[in-house]
């Protein structure tokens, strides 16, 4: 009897196991993991130009500049003092050749800007450049669209062609010159930036889309690290005695509106619209005068800085990233993700005359 009971219990156990296994096979399978939605590597917003190389245009920004095309539609604007004498130049970055409006006045190239954008595979657009600019382009075999080479094939000016014209270009003009210059407007290598995207591509069996690392760590979730951060409504970056850039916060649009050194609005000559940004980033960096005793070199490895968004200010630390060009940390040392949107990024050093002023709604300076 004991043997029969043991055999019966074994049979029942086997039957239960079979039933359980059969039941499991009838259950719906786990849903496939959601693939991340591709986002624009310059803004963190919806990607409209997949597989396209961004375009970076160096433009004039003298204190008396009143004609600047394309300023209000650039995804990112970079600014730094790169020369001992003269005004700063701006670098306007667009996500694709097709996204470039009429833009200018095109200025000499800056190797600092190409270094900041090296991970984005940008197409540089310039009007000549110094020796350091040329050395950088040659070293990385980076072919620019240069007005001194392309001339009227890609550039125009509103008056006669002179030694110092207001040279401008556009996406359509650049497109027509790229083939002649043997420059591709599409990304040339695959850069999978996350393990999750690599796994998704492998599982799908499809060709991996060409991607580039994001310039900034951005998210559309619109989270801020500290809701009690001080309000910051006015910003002024003094690059030297003659050159300054200001911003005034507009609560209605939740953006920082760009100002000339004299406080007047910095307008886009295409539309008359004032340039405005969702994010302001002022990064402190050590700099030194180069051997030519005319241009500055910047340390792009790490430093402190501030981030302004939504009328508030946060102190940050920045360094080189991995999945993104930059990586940011808040005051507590936690990784920081910026809100998606258009960004202005300036490098400020301890060079005499460069300083940052940020005031709150009461007119108090927040930078000590």
**pLDDT 10s digits, 61-119:** 987 667 899 999 999 999 999 998 888 999 999 999 999 999 999 999 999 999 999 99
Is the distance from CB of 231 to CB of 219 less than 8 angstroms? no
**Rounded to whole angstroms, how far apart are CA atoms 362 and 47?**
39
pLDDT recorded at residue 368? 73
Is the distance from CB of 325 to CB of 217 less than 8 angstroms? no
Q: Once rounded to an integer, what is the mean pLDDT over residues 214-237?
A: 85
Burial of 104 (0-12, 13-18, 19+ CB in 10 A): buried
Name which of 15-29, 115-129, 248-262, 336-350 the model is least confident about.
15-29
- Average pLDDT of the chain is 85
pTM: 0.85
Please indicate whether residue 211 or residue 10 has the higher confidence score (pLDDT). 211
Residue 158 has pLDDT above 60, yes or no: yes
Please indicate whether residue 23 or residue 341 has the higher confidence score (pLDDT). 341
What percent of the chain stands above pLDDT 90? 68
pLDDT band at residue 13 under the 50/70/90 scheme: very low
Euclidean distance between the first and final Cα of the chain, in Å? 91
pLDDT band at residue 215 under the 50/70/90 scheme: very high
Residue 33 has pLDDT above 90, yes or no: no
């Amino acid at each position: 009897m004991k043997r029969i009971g043991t055999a019966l219990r074994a049979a029942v156990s086997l039957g239960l196991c079979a039933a359980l296994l059969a039941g499991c096979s009838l259950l719906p399978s786990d849903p496939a993991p959601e693939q991340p939605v591709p986002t624009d590597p310059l803004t963190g917003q919806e990607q409209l130009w997949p597989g396209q190389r961004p375009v970076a245009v160096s433009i004039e920004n003298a204190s008396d500049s009143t004609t600047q095309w394309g300023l209000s539609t650039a995804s990112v604007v970079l600014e730094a003092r790169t020369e001992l004498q003269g005004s700063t130049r701006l670098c306007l970055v667009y996500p694709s050749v097709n996204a470039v409006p009429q833009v200018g006045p095109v200025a000499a190239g800056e190797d600092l800007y190409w270094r900041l954008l090296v991970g984005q595979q940008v197409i540089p657009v310039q009007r000549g450049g110094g020796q350091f600019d040329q050395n950088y382009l040659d070293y990385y075999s980076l072919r620019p669209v240069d007005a001194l080479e392309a001339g009227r094939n890609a550039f125009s000016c509103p008056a006669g062609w002179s030694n110092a014209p207001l040279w401008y270009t556009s996406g359509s003009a650049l497109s027509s010159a790229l083939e002649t210059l043997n420059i591709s407007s599409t990304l040339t290598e695959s850069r999978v930036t996350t393990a999750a995207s690599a796994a998704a591509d492998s599982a799908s069996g499809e060709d991996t889309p060409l991607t580039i690392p994001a310039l900034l760590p951005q998210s559309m979730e619109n989270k801020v690290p500290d809701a009690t951060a001080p309000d910051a409504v006015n910003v002024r970056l003094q690059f030297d005695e003659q050159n300054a850039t200001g911003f005034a916060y507009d609560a209605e649009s939740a953006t920082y509106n760009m100002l000339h050194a004299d406080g007047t609005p910095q307008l886009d000559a295409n539309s008359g619209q004032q340039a405005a940004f969702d994010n302001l980033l002022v990064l402190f960096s050590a700099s030194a005068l180069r051997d030519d005793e005319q241009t500055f070199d910047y340390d792009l490895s790490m430093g402190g800085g501030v981030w302004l968004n939504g009328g508030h200010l946060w102190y940050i630390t920045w360094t080189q990233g991995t999945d993104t060009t930059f990586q940011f940390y808040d005051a507590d040392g936690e990784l920081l993700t910026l809100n998606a949107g258009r960004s202005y990024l300036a490098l400020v050093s301890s060079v005499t005359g460069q300083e940052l002023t940020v005031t709150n709604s009461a007119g108090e300076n927040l930078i000590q």
